[in-house]
């Protein structure tokens, strides 16, 4: 935790980074090396969603793969080594404020307000919910959004994975370490995830696929006992017995309240719009990583964007 000066309004950072995942930590590393006075605010442990990954296999330089939290710990070590200051607090709002004839950004957190000349929003995203009856009530009682966190509770149990993207496929493969049987329930008859993961899924004897099915409800008294599934092609509804449901139905961006700035920053799907330099329409606000409107959400793309955002901030400050 950084020791803060008392005179808050005169203590204006040159840049504040919101979020300490791969994008934010890379931006912090670069800004520290540019000797830009930067503060990174992270609500929990540095690393964001990567902390939920058991092994990252496609981050270059680690041919054997690397454990997600370990990679993120290394990112943090490297950034703080060059002087990045990190505080743990939840950012509630980003707003603009006039102070001594200058427009600064006010970053309001659960602990206090911070001020800066520029902001990098790198607050990432989180798993989407299915929104079906039983999902919320049985979360932690058989419903999970993280195989790495909860897989070990399902040793020799039959589980369902919902979704057909990279996350669902990776997690289904990971969960075969514990579960006796994994059934992937997908709403279409074609998977969205990458071909290499599809091959592994099709070749895994513990994984079955239930195509063109949607979950109507998750049922059980105190623990998950079954799902109501509907075949969207035939209309048939069945009760499917299982002890666990892992939901990987996509992703949505997370960011603090942006007040009146939001209208100029966000697209129809809720992601933050930037140009190739990570600049938003509002001068001094930049965004990078999973919170951005883009097609590929990977650690490696987040890093590239973090570096680009830092470069743009440095130019902006000049
Ligand atoms: P995603 O690619 O958006 O896939 C979400 C999956 O959930 C899709 O198959 C989607 O079905 C399904 N889905 C969405 N809403 C649903 C609902 N209400 N009911 C049932 N199914 C629903 O999300 P993701 O897999 O989390 O991946 C997010 C990003 O991270 C992607 O860009 C992905 O490539 C990347 N990622 C990469 C890796 C890797 O390369 N190792 C690992 C993890 C994630 P439809 O297909 O019908 O839309």
pLDDT, tens digit, 9 for 90 and up, residues 265-313: 999 999 999 999 999 999 999 999 999 999 888 899 999 999 999 999 9
User: Closest Cα partner for 225 from 163, 150, 141?
Assistant: 141
Interval 248-253 mean pLDDT: 93
pLDDT, tens digit, 9 for 90 and up, residues 183-222: 999 999 999 999 999 999 999 999 999 999 999 999 999 9
Among protein residues, the one whose CA lies closest to atom 23 of ligand 1? 250
Percent of the chain with pLDDT over 70: 97
Count up the domains in the chain and report the number. 2
CA 262 – ligand 1 centroid, Å: 26
Residues 269 and 121 in one domain: yes
pLDDT of residue 285: 98
Closest ligand 1 atom to 296 CA: 32
Q: Does residue 2 fall inside a structural domain?
A: no
Residues 309 and 257 in one domain: yes
Among protein residues, the one whose CA lies closest to atom 22 of ligand 1? 249
Q: Which domain holds residue 272?
A: 9-127+251-317
Tokens of 116: 């800066």
pLDDT, tens digit, 9 for 90 and up, residues 122-136: 999 988 999 999 999
Grouping H, G, I as helix, E, B as strand and the rest as coil, residue 42 is: strand
Grouping H, G, I as helix, E, B as strand and the rest as coil, residue 271 is: coil
Residue 11, Cβ density class (10 Å: 0-12 exposed, 13-18 middle, ≥19 buried): middle
CA 227 – ligand 1 centroid, Å: 21
Residue 287, Cβ density class (10 Å: 0-12 exposed, 13-18 middle, ≥19 buried): buried
Q: Does residue 4 fall inside a structural domain?
A: no
- Please, what's the largest Cα pairwise distance for the chain? 67
CA 303 – ligand 1 centroid, Å: 21
User: Domain boundary at 195, 229, 247, which?
Assistant: 247
d(CA 198, CA 194) in angstroms, rounded, equals 6
Q: Does residue 196 fall inside a structural domain?
A: yes
Residues 101 and 57 in one domain: yes
106 lines ligand 1 (CB under 6 A): no
Q: Does residue 134 fall inside a structural domain?
A: no
User: Domain boundary at 247, 277, 309, which?
Assistant: 247
For ligand 1, pick from 250, 252, 300, 305 the residue to mutate: most ligand atoms within 8 Å of CB: 250
Task: Give, for 305, the enclosing helix (H) or strand (E).
Answer: helix 299-317
For residue 8, pLDDT over 60 is answered with no
Interval 95-112 mean pLDDT: 90
d(CA 37, CA 46) in angstroms, rounded, equals 19
> Is the pLDDT higher at 201 or at 139?
201
Which pairing describes strands 285-287 and 119-121: parallel, antiparallel, or unpaired?
parallel
Closest ligand 1 atom to 168 CA: 25
Residues 241 and 150 in one domain: yes
Percent of the chain with pLDDT over 90: 84
294 lines ligand 1 (CB under 6 A): no
For residue 77, pLDDT over 80 is answered with yes
Rounded to whole angstroms, what are the CA distances from 125 to 150, 238, 275? 20, 33, 19
How many beta carbons lie within 10 A of that of residue 73, not counting itself? 15
Residue whose pair of structure tokens reads 């990190």 in the numeric block = 86
Question: Can you give the CATH number for the domain in which 276 is found?
Answer: 3.50.50.60
248 lines ligand 1 (CB under 6 A): yes
CA 96 – ligand 1 centroid, Å: 35
Report yes or no: 133 and 218 within 8 Å, Cβ to Cβ. yes
pLDDT of residue 184: 98
Angle between helix 68-81 and 22-33 (nearest 10)? 20
CA 139 – ligand 1 centroid, Å: 20
Q: DSSP secondary-structure letter at 169?
A: H
54 lines ligand 1 (CB under 6 A): no
Q: Which residues pair with 91 in a beta bridge?
A: 109
pLDDT of residue 3: 47
């Amino acid at each position: 935790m950084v020791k803060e000066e008392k005179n808050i309004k005169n203590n204006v950072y040159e840049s504040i980074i919101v979020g300490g995942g791969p994008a934010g930590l890379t931006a912090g590393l670069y800004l520290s090396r540019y000797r830009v006075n930067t503060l990174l605010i992270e609500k929990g442990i540095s690393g964001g969603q990567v902390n939920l990954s058991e092994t990252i296999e496609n981050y270059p330089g680690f041919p054997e793969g690397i454990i997600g939290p370990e990679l993120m710990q290394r990112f943090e070590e490297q950034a703080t080594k060059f002087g990045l200051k990190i505080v743990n607090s939840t950012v509630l709002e980003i707003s603009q404020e006039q102070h001594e004839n200058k427009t600064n950004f006010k970053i309001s957190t659960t602990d206090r307000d911070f001020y800066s000349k520029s902001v990098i929003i790198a607050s990432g995203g989180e798993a989407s919910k299915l929104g079906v009856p039983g999902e919320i009530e049985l979360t932690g009682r058989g419903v999970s959004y993280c195989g790495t966190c909860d897989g070990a509770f399902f040793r020799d149990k039959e589980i369902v994975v919902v979704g057909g993207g990279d996350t669902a496929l990776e997690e289904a493969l990971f969960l075969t370490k514990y579960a006796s049987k994994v059934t992937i329930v997908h709403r279409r008859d074609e998977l969205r995830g990458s071909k290499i993961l599809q091959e592994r899924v099709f070749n895994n004897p513990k994984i079955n696929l239930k195509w063109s099915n949607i979950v109507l409800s998750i049922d059980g008294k105190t623990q998950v006992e079954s799902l109501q599934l509907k075949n969207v092609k035939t209309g048939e509804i069945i009760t499917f017995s299982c002890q666990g449901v892992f939901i990987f139905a996509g992703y949505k961006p997370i960011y603090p309240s942006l007040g009146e700035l939001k209208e100029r920053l966000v697209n129809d799907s809720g992601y933050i719009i930037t140009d190739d330099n990570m600049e938003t329409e509002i001068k001094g606000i930049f965004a990078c990583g999973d919170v951005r409107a883009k097609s590929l959400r990977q650690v490696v793309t987040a890093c590239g964007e973090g570096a680009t955002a830092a470069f743009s901030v440095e130019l902006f400050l000049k």
